[in-house]
Chain A
Amino acid sequence: MADQLSMDMVVLILAAAVATFLTRIGGYVLITRMKTIPPRMEQALNAVPAAVLTTLVAPAFFNGGWDVKIAMLAALVVGVRYPGLLLLGAGWAAAMICRHLLGF
């Protein structure tokens, strides 16, 4: 069962793939049509990834228990100085310590 492809899932994945490809070719299509993107629109487009990703971070922090909050704070402190993998390690280690040693 778990090794099979479910039709709904395949359709969802392919729709996500098409949506992604549209973003990858979109700039080429736009630039060959309109030469430049208006600056205010570019500024808004530029902010889209950070804006979307923040909506996955902030509620997770506020709704999470102390273990999640501490893990995310540890990751933040490490992440402003070191690359992504260390940040992931710091958050993971903090959550493991909270759950297995401190019993949160």
Chain B
Amino acid sequence: MNRSEFNQGMKGGLVIALSSAPFAVLFGAVASDNGLSVMEAGLMSATVYAGASQLVGIELFGHQVAPWLIVLSVFAVNFRHILYSAALTRYISHFSPVQKFFTFFVLTDPQFAEAVQRGESGRGVSFPWYIGFGAAIYFPWLFFSVVGAFFGRMMGDPRALAIDVLLPVYFLGLVIGFRRKPGFYPVVAASALGSVLGYHFVGSPWHVSIGAAVGVVVAALLPLSTEPAPVTAVAETES
């Protein structure tokens, strides 16, 4: 292990850890509000380790949605990682298989953004740097999720503290984080319309799949964009 590369990675990761700590606390609090135990919230942060999709899973769990549909929704929200790992491959082809396993396990939005930036700048992506960066985000994320879950269990009425509005507002923030992507407005309009109509005519939870499918079909039918899509749109809000 190259210590200085590792330390440099840690330093970069800690900045991200600090800015994502409130979201980890939010996740923990919402998780206990929706009936998860502290250990279950911790297990989810430790194994899924993808903020937005964890909150989506919890939200659907709170609405008694069928388990397979929850897993499918988590998969759908995390779909962008496929693009990340595809783009990252050229910079990490020298890693060993075990190193690659950990590399992909901790592949979050900021991790991807920083690694690609480093690769493009010609400094090279070393495993010590990469895993230092990842560890500095992973462990605080886990810690603050558990803190949030403890806090959530001690809280009184979530409505009086307006905890219940935090989730839709948080998701709204993620959506507007994508607004500079090509095709954003038609896709969002189509998904919004599809989900609202689906909610009224078919019912929950189908509105999620219906709305998402309508949005994705619209995206596929739009004229091809000439500029490369910025894939790091949610980097500010999601860990």
Point out residues on A near B: beta carbons under 8 Å.
Answer: 2-6, 8-17, 19-28, 30-32, 37, 39-64, 67-68, 71-72, 75-76, 79-80, 83-85, 87-88, 91-92, 95-96, 99-100
Contacts and interface: CB of A to CB of B under 8 A. Distances in A.
A25 to B, nearest CB: 4
A55 B177 contact: no
B191 A43 contact: no
B89 A23 contact: no
The 3 A-B pairs with the shortest beta carbon distances in the complex, nearest first, are A51-B215, A27-B86, A47-B219
A14 B46 CA distance: 10
Interface stretch (B6-14, B36-44, B122-130, B135-143): B36-44
Given A2-B37, A13-B43, A47-B216, A52 B77 contact: yes
A16 to B, nearest CB: 4
Contact of B176 (A2, A79, A100): A79
Interface in B165-208: 165-179, 181-184, 187-188, 190-196, 198-199, 204, 207-208
Given A56-B59, A84-B237, 11 more contacts: A3-B38, A12-B70, A15-B67, A27-B83, A27-B86, A28-B104, A46-B219, A47-B187, A50-B215, A52-B191, A54-B191
B4 interface: no
Contacts of B188: 50-51, 54
A68 B107 CA distance: 34
Contacts of B104: 21, 24-25, 28
Contacts of B79: 23, 45, 48-49, 52
Contact of B196 (A8, A19, A58, A79): A58
Nearest to B214: A51
Contacts of A50: 175, 178, 181, 184, 187-188, 191, 215
The SS class assigned to the A binding surface is: helix
B195 A58 contact: yes
28 contacts: A3-B38, A3-B39, A5-B43, A10-B43, A16-B48, A20-B53, A22-B75, A23-B79, A27-B83, A28-B104, A40-B220, A43-B183, A43-B229, A45-B82, A46-B219, A47-B183, A47-B218, A49-B77, A49-B80, A51-B215, A53-B174, A54-B187, A55-B208, A59-B199, A84-B237, A91-B172, A92-B166, A100-B160
A43 B219 contact: yes
Interface residues of B, number: 104
Nearest to A100: B160
B116 interface: no
Contacts of B26: 88
B172 A72 contact: yes
A43 B70 CA distance: 24
Given A24-B105, A47-B219, A49-B234, A88 B85 contact: no
Given A46-B83, A62-B196, A53 B77 contact: yes
Given A31-B86, A72-B168, A88-B173, A16 B57 contact: yes
